[in-house]
Amino acid sequence: MSVRDDVALLKQIPLFAKVDDAQLNVLAFSVERIKLANGEVLFRDGETGSGAFIVAKGEVELVRNVGAGDVTINAGEGMLIGEQTMFADVPYRGTAHTENGAEVLKISRQLFYRVAEEFPDLAVEAIKSVNEKLNSTLTDLSRVRRDL
């Protein structure tokens, strides 16, 4: 994949959708590309988080224990996983692995901070996106609580 392809992939993610292409070029040029073999684990639940991953090819399964059992989320091409660890020093929540191989782009926390420092607009858009996701989650939780 080219940097142009990676920018197009980044644009699909709400966190980066409104970020200027020039800024995304810098980010795309610097991401780490990781190829995962069949059955390979990308990260494990509780491991120290070091950055987010974007599925570029294939599919990654994210398995989370939610108390009543495991929940599996299939992350296909263009999906972002582990984004909390891109912003803060928190562990991964869940185990991510691939059954049939995949390719992911890793945005380390250090890379994200460097690019955000150089391009504050990127940081502002990222904060807005995280805030929208948090508000949506809180609304969903309020609805569930009311229904119980």
pLDDT value of residue 88: 86
Q: Where residue 34 falls among pLDDT bands split at 50, 70, 90?
A: very high
pLDDT value of residue 41: 96
Which residue, among 26, 44, 36, has the nearest Cα to 107 in the 3D structure?
26
Residues 38-96: tens digit of each pLDDT:
999 999 999 999 999 999 999 999 998 877 788 888 999 999 999 888 888 899 999 99
CA distance 42 to 44: 7
Q: Going by DSSP bridges, is the β-strand pair 80-81/51-58 parallel, antiparallel, or unpaired?
A: antiparallel
Could you give the domains of the chain?
3-147 (2.60.120.10)
CA distance 66 to 126: 27
In this prediction the pTM is 0.85
User: Does the pLDDT of residue 148 top 80, yes or no?
Assistant: no
Lowest mean pLDDT segment, chosen from 63-67, 109-113, 119-123, 135-139: 135-139
